[in-house]
Amino acid sequence: MGLFVVYNGSKYVCDLKQGIALSNDQAGESASTKVRIVHLADHTGKLQVIFPYDSMLDMAALSRLTKRRFDPVANYNIDGDPLVKPSTCPTLIDSELLNSEFIELRSHSQQNYKTIPLEEFKARFQGPLARYESLAIPVKSIPKAAESIDGDVDQLFQALGKFQAVRLKQRIEETLEIPPLPASSHRIIQLCGNDHAGTDDLCDVINLDPSLSAQVISWASSPYYGVKGEIESVEDAIIRVLGFDMVMNLALGLSMGNAFQLPQDGPRHYEDFWYSAVSHAVLMEALVRKMPSGQRPRLGHAYLAGLLHNFGYLTISVVLPPHFAILSRYIEANAHLPADVIEMQTLRFTKEQLGAWLLKHWGLPESIYTGIRYSRTADYRGAHDGIANLLYLAHQLFNGDDLNATLLEKVNIAHDDALACYKKVMSSSKELMTMVDLISGQK
């Protein structure tokens, strides 16, 4: 059993199970530091970097020190790269390690960590190809996101500076450089606010967009739902398969998804962006159904929140392309850290903050953008915390983390039921990819 640190609800500095050690200041009595090894390369050669596991590799510092632009060799390596002898590969080591008495090191991700004295570590890494430099940022020094959604706008503006903030405000509010919200989305949002809207009204709105209509029908016809017989209309999809609330929010998500294209210069592992969106959506649906009926959030809202949970990622790529390119390199080099930690260091705000702001501006229901905003906050209590809590639980399931017992109790879902929901989603990957193709346009 080990110690851990919680940042914004995410456990990222923990015991040996996750392979992350505490620094001297954090551990108190401990004088050992666990290290992470990352391999990088450019057109002229490779570089090995060794730094504390509870720190973030500073790619800008690397560029300043080497006068070169490196990219990680592995596109998303959570466990870290194997150790290469410094006699065969240039190695940069974070100088903070010199303040430790012992170093926890392993040669390969399949091996256990071995604790060695600092002097032995230094003896291993000596010679002309190895040197010590300041190249990592302790996680404890990285700022945190605003505690409340009410403080997001100020934090966004402060992060980007006065001039950039004005430009960002214009881009968002006047849609100067991002795709405008599709007309079908506007109509569906208006329908969301109409308590008297019925199936005929929803069918009329969706049928105005033939492409959207076809997507909804195909979605309901997916093998994932296992409906017998052909789904011939949007009305069929509503009555026989998904229900009014689900179809309304699904159509909204599909329509919004059509407005954004995946960026070309993002982290290489984000090729599965829409698969993550769809799998989160269906997992949210399953989790809601496991809750007591009187405690459930609206099923359609939970589904849409899952589908749009990472929408801020697309927003950053479209609104702030230079920042996004930098963020992508940092995410790949620091796969051992939660994305929100890296976002706060590189952008000074998180994708959840920006995504929620955009969705709020576009007029989506408060429960959806609030749930997304607090989806990384384990102990969030407030308006619409049901969706936020379920999203946090979904993140834990997909990350393979130990499920938060307090959170399970709050949403009133048994541990085994939550795992069963996740296993069902994972066993349906082929069916889910068919649904992904509807969004990505692959036929």
Q: Are residues 166 and 121 in the same domain?
A: no
- Side chain identity, residue 26: Q
- Single out the residue in 141, 166, 199 at which a domain terminates: 141
Question: Taking the CA atoms of the chain, what radius of gyration do you get in angstroms?
Answer: 24
Q: Are residues 137 and 173 in the same domain?
A: no
Is residue 84 in some structural domain? yes
SS3 content of the chain, % helix, strand, coil (to 5): 55, 10, 35
Q: Are residues 278 and 344 in the same domain?
A: yes
- Longest Cα pair distance anywhere in the chain, in angstroms? 76
* pTM of structure: 0.80
- Residue 337 belongs to domain with CATH number: 1.10.3210.10
Rounded to a whole number of angstroms, the distance between the first and last alpha carbons of the chain is 49
How do the pLDDT tens digits run along the chain, 443 residues long? 333 333 333 333 333 333 333 333 444 444 899 999 999 999 999 999 999 999 999 999 999 999 999 988 876 778 889 999 888 899 999 999 999 999 999 988 888 999 999 999 999 988 889 999 999 999 999 999 998 998 998 888 788 765 465 666 655 555 434 556 778 888 888 887 777 888 998 999 898 888 889 889 988 888 888 888 888 899 999 999 888 988 988 888 888 877 676 666 666 655 578 888 889 999 999 999 999 988 999 988 999 999 999 888 888 887 778 888 889 889 989 999 999 999 999 999 999 999 998 888 888 889 999 999 999 998 899 878 999 999 999 999 998 899 999 999 999 999 999 999 999 999 988 888 888 877 766 44
- Single out the residue in 141, 166, 198 at which a domain terminates: 141
Is residue 194 in some structural domain? no
Enclosing domain of residue 35? 5-141
Is residue 125 in some structural domain? yes
Do residues 237 and 220 touch, judged by C-beta distance below 8 A? Answer: yes
Is residue 219 in some structural domain? no
Is residue 216 in some structural domain? no
Written as six digits, the tokens of 392 are 């946090």
Q: Which residues pair with 122 in a beta bridge?
A: none
Distance between CA 408 and CA 403 in Å, rounded? Answer: 8
Q: Are residues 56 and 165 in the same domain?
A: no
CA atoms within 13 A on the CB side of 359: 32
Do residues 28 and 112 touch, judged by C-beta distance below 8 A? Answer: no
Q: Are residues 153 and 281 in the same domain?
A: yes
Q: 10 Å Cβ neighbour count for 192? A: 19
Number of domains in the chain: 2
Q: Are residues 170 and 75 in the same domain?
A: no
Is residue 212 in some structural domain? no
